[in-house]
Structure 1
Amino acid sequence: MAIYLEMPRLDKEFPFRILVNDGNILTTPHWHRELELIYVTKGTITLGINDQPYTLSEGGIVFINSGDIHYVLASPGSERLVYQFDFSFFSSVSTEEADISHSFPDIFPLSIHWSEEDQKKVREILENVYLENRERHPGYQYVIKSAIFQLAVLFIRKLPKRENRKVQEINGIKNNEILEKLDQVFRYVENRYQQHISLQDAASEVGYSPFYFTRFFKKNTGKTFITFLNDYRIDKAKWLLINSDKNVSQIISEVGFESDKTFYRLFKNSLMLSPLEYRKKMSIN
């Protein structure tokens, strides 16, 4: 399976979300800038982090650092809560001593390495955050942010650390550089997808030759740049089909496809439906 970069859609004003995944949901190898915690609430799951496989049972927690490559295999009968948040959550604390990006890479990721007391504290915090996020009473965002800060303090002060710091720092620097370049490409596509974009255009945007950019993009996203661009445009078209009354020809032009034939072929390959069949199906649902 290809390794790809995931870009969680987090609110810029409140960069946090919780997903509830049942055991039938398989997540293929991927990585992202955001921090992630997985809390198993039912059954047992099998996952991997940086080529190391693990098994985690009910009540177990795993911490996934920014840039870690990870996956979760299908685990029927299980359920897990997935918490994702961005480093910007901690932007109000900018001192070197409080920089959690220096502390998180060293933590043993699985809760089986933590003390019973610390496991219990983390579970209580995660369960409280889940309830606050679900019920959303006035001020819930303050409660969640406070809880995330509590987790950060607990991680920094209490959880056991690994000693292979030097290798992790090198990998962290490398991943940050890759993320910055990919973010630059994604922003470029987001701002220009309605216009003509060539491979040369994208490569020039990040200062790479087309040959190097082709290899770089495929290695770090699992797909070619043109495939990514077409997928992005198809996603925009899907949204317009559901949320507007525009006809298909208008939508094709608006999302940047220069060929109707190419759009119809890619749309059908992606969804096994024509655009109008998709619109009809989604309106019924």
Structure 2
Amino acid sequence: MQFAHELIVPEVGFPFKLFLFEGREGHYHREKHWHRSIEIFAVCDGELEFKIDEKTWHLTAGEFMIVNSNEVHEVDSPLPNETIVLQIPLKVFEKYYTGEQFIWFTHEPGRKDARFMELLEELYQTYCEKQCGYDMKMNSIFYHLLYLLVKEYRLTEVEDAFVRKNKNLNKLSAITSYMKENYAQELSLEEVARIFGYSPTYLSRMFQKYAGITYKSYLQNIRLEYAMKDLKGGKYNITETALRSGFSGSKAMARAFRKKYGILPSEYRENA
């Protein structure tokens, strides 16, 4: 099934976000990250690769991945693909928590997978067509998806380690939100630790243990993502982009950019 290449953010009134994956053109890698929402990737064409807790999952057309709340994951999209992404706020599932603000879904294939995939495709198609009453139909499909999630994919017995990790990533979420809002400023480990009442050593250990990434790497990834957006937009030159993104200068950004992407910022902008 082919879809229009556009970012979709449904109007106010829908309890979810629905859009096409930003890495649909290929040559894309999303570094380790996590979020409070449940996220579902449904591959309609092409393929994607996920890494979750050091386990790799390869998805092809007709398959989907459920990413749990606060589950650290990274995504590889080397080739073009058509992938629907559905983001569901955690609070939608509050009646089904197995612990304090905790619910967990399996990644393993199940007997309802074909129907679940059909519903995801129908949800997106309904939004694109926008026929009379489409909003009511979308909500109907969405709640059918929720029903399958809690009935077929929810785990009622979860290891204590998952629950502990979830709680600590909740704490880290407040910190990473602050980092994303202030990425252009000086954000030393010591200063951020002071703001949130931790010692630098403890905060550094939290990132490494629960997110599987260092504080420095996480901050640099945020800055590189914003730099890429500015470079692609073409509004700012290399030096302006570097300073806007929180780098000390164009040379520092070039080193980080080349280390991660294998090319210089100038090369990326020429091909963007």
Pairwise TM-score range, normalised by the shorter structure: 0.5 to 0.7
Match of 2:119 in 1: 125
1:151 aligns with 2:140: no
Shift of 1:43: 10
Which has the larger Rg?
1
Shift of 1:215: 1.7
The 3 A distance-change label for structure 1 pair 251 and 69 is closer
Aligned partner of 1:33: which letter? R
- Give, in whole Å, the separation in 2 of the partners of 1:224 and 1:253: 22
Match of 1:230 in 2: 220
Kept in 2, the 8 Å contact 1:33–1:86? The answer is no
- Give, in whole Å, the separation in 2 of the partners of 1:39 and 1:225: 31
Aligned partner of 2:152: which letter? L
CA deviations over 1:192-225 (Å, ceiling 9, x no partner): 2222111101222332211121121123333321
Kept in 2, the 8 Å contact 1:33–1:179? The answer is no
Aligned with 1:208: secondary structure? Answer: coil
Match of 2:5 in 1: none
Kept in 2, the 8 Å contact 1:23–1:45? The answer is no
Match of 2:235 in 1: 245
1:16 aligns with 2:13: no
The 3 A distance-change label for structure 1 pair 243 and 47 is closer
Kept in 1, the 8 Å contact 2:45–2:83? The answer is no
Match of 2:96 in 1: 100
Calculate the TM-score normalised by the size of structure 2: 0.68
Calculate the TM-score normalised by the size of structure 1: 0.65
Match of 2:176 in 1: 186
Kept in 1, the 8 Å contact 2:35–2:69? The answer is yes
Please report the RMSD computed on the Cα atoms of aligned residues, expressed in angstroms.
4.5
For this pair of structures, how many residues does the alignment match? 259
Kept in 2, the 8 Å contact 1:63–1:110? The answer is no
Matches within 5 A, 1:1-285: 14-19=16-21, 32-37=35-40, 63-68=66-71, 81=83, 83-87=85-89, 90=92, 99-102=95-98, 105=103, 109-112=107-110, 114=111, 118=112, 121-135=115-129, 140=134, 142-156=136-150, 158-159=151-152, 165=157, 167-168=158-159, 170-171=160-161, 173-282=163-272
The 3 A distance-change label for structure 1 pair 108 and 240 is closer
The 3 A distance-change label for structure 1 pair 268 and 37 is closer
- Give, in whole Å, the separation in 1 of the partners of 2:9 and 2:203: 27
The 3 A distance-change label for structure 1 pair 124 and 270 is closer
* Structure 1 spans left out of the alignment, 5+ residues: 1-8
